[in-house]
Amino acid sequence: STQQRFLLSLLTLGMHYCFLLYQQITTNNSIMVRSITSLLIVAFSAAARTNAFVSPMQQSPTRIPSSSITHRNNNGPLPAKDANMSEEERDAAMEKALKAMTAFSNKYVQNTNTYYCEDQSVPAVVIKGLAEHKVTLGTPLCPCRFYEDKEKEAKDGYWNCPCVPMRERHECHCMLFLTEDNDFAGTEQNISIDDVKKNCGF
């Protein structure tokens, strides 16, 4: 809906504004200013976890049938990859995708010598979003962006994880893979499937 699109855009802009602000004041000796900015980032991240990264079927207490979910392209609506799955089949597919994307993320972090965010709920939510797209689109499209046409973007491949900016410049829009000099990078290069589920309420 228009409201959801506006909220997603606002949350994304807010998170990036706070991140840029934090970077600008890293040379400032004011601990209070840096602390307030950090709190703002956490607040936007928390809001994003409940709205921006969560699919409509997870936002509602009443689960929307998979068959009602469609993706659009220039020729009209296309059924989601999981459209003909039963609820049990979709849950099994999601479990499989979640394990696959967790394993992929752990491997990619090590191969690129990057790190997960010190707040592990951040990589957990992103991994869940990738798994959702793996099930519905057949490919791990970046879950941190708004797309007019997800099917088209998935086929294009630019934002399929790892996206082109990450592969070429180690720039991860989702903050899943962080370089060592990133202020939010932790020390972990591994996250367990149990931690992913726990942090996502899966």
Using one digit for the tens of pLDDT, what is the confidence trace for 69-105? 333 434 444 456 767 788 888 999 999 999 999 999 9
Q: 71: closest CA among 80, 84, 83, 58?
A: 80
Report the catalytic residues: 144
Q: 174: closest CA among 19, 2, 23, 3?
A: 19
pTM above 0.75, yes or no: no
- Using an 8 Å Cβ cutoff, are 141 and 113 in contact? no
DSSP 178: B
Q: How many residues does the chain have?
A: 202
Using one digit for the tens of pLDDT, what is the confidence trace for 7-38? 554 555 555 555 545 444 544 445 445 445 55
Tell me the pLDDT of the chain averaged across its residues: 74
- Determine the Cα–Cα distance for residues 88 and 117; give it in Å rounded to an integer: 32
Q: Return the structure tokens found at 151.
A: 């099917």
- Using an 8 Å Cβ cutoff, are 124 and 131 in contact? no
Using one digit for the tens of pLDDT, what is the confidence trace for 101-119? 999 999 999 999 999 999 9
Residues contacting residue 32 through CB under 8 Å, at least 6 positions apart: none
- Using an 8 Å Cβ cutoff, are 128 and 74 in contact? no
- Give, in degrees to the nearest 5, the angle at Cα 72 between 66 and 78: 55
Between 118 and 53, residue with greater pLDDT: 118
DSSP 139: S
Percent of the chain with pLDDT strictly greater than 70:
60
- Determine the Cα–Cα distance for residues 32 and 40; give it in Å rounded to an integer: 12
- Using an 8 Å Cβ cutoff, are 118 and 124 in contact? no
